[in-house]
Amino acid sequence: MEKEIDFEYRDILKTPLSEDELVELANLGSMTVKNLVNKNSKCFKSLKIDLTNLSDDEAAQLILTNPKIMTRPLFSDGFGLAAGFKEKEVESLIEGK
């Protein structure tokens, strides 16, 4: 079943997120900024960084300077967050569950 929804697309490579926006997204997803990093991305792997030793501020700076390491896509309704291609999480977000 297809649904039509209004959405705002943002290309984070052309219009990067601010540190405040990263923190807000992480909070919406009940996670840390470090959880927004896609550890499987080629870009992240090439950096050879151990995330476990980074603070959230350091992780935010890392994402700001290397936006390709962030998990994408991100879906938010302003109250919650679904990160990545997780169909059930996105559907739940859209349905307000």
- CB 28, CB 76: distance < 8 Å: yes
- The CA distance from 29 to 83, in Å, is 8
Q: What is the mean pLDDT of the chain?
A: 91
Structure tokens at 43: 């870009």
Q: Give exposure, 55-78, as e/b (b: 16+ Cβ within 10 Å).
A: ebeebbebbeebbebbbeebbbee
Query: What is the tens place of the pLDDT at every residue in 9-26?
Result: 999 999 999 999 999 999
Domains and CATH numbers, the chain: 19-95 (3.40.30.10)
Say what the pLDDT of residue 63 is.
97
Query: What is the tens place of the pLDDT at every residue in 38-62?
Result: 999 999 999 999 999 999 999 999 9
Say what the pLDDT of residue 6 is.
79
Pairing label, strands 74-76, 81-83 = antiparallel
Using CA atoms, how far residue 18 sits from 7, 62, 76, in Å, is: 20, 12, 16
- The CA distance from 53 to 37, in Å, is 14
pLDDT grade for 95, boundaries at 50, 70 and 90 = confident
pLDDT grade for 97, boundaries at 50, 70 and 90 = low
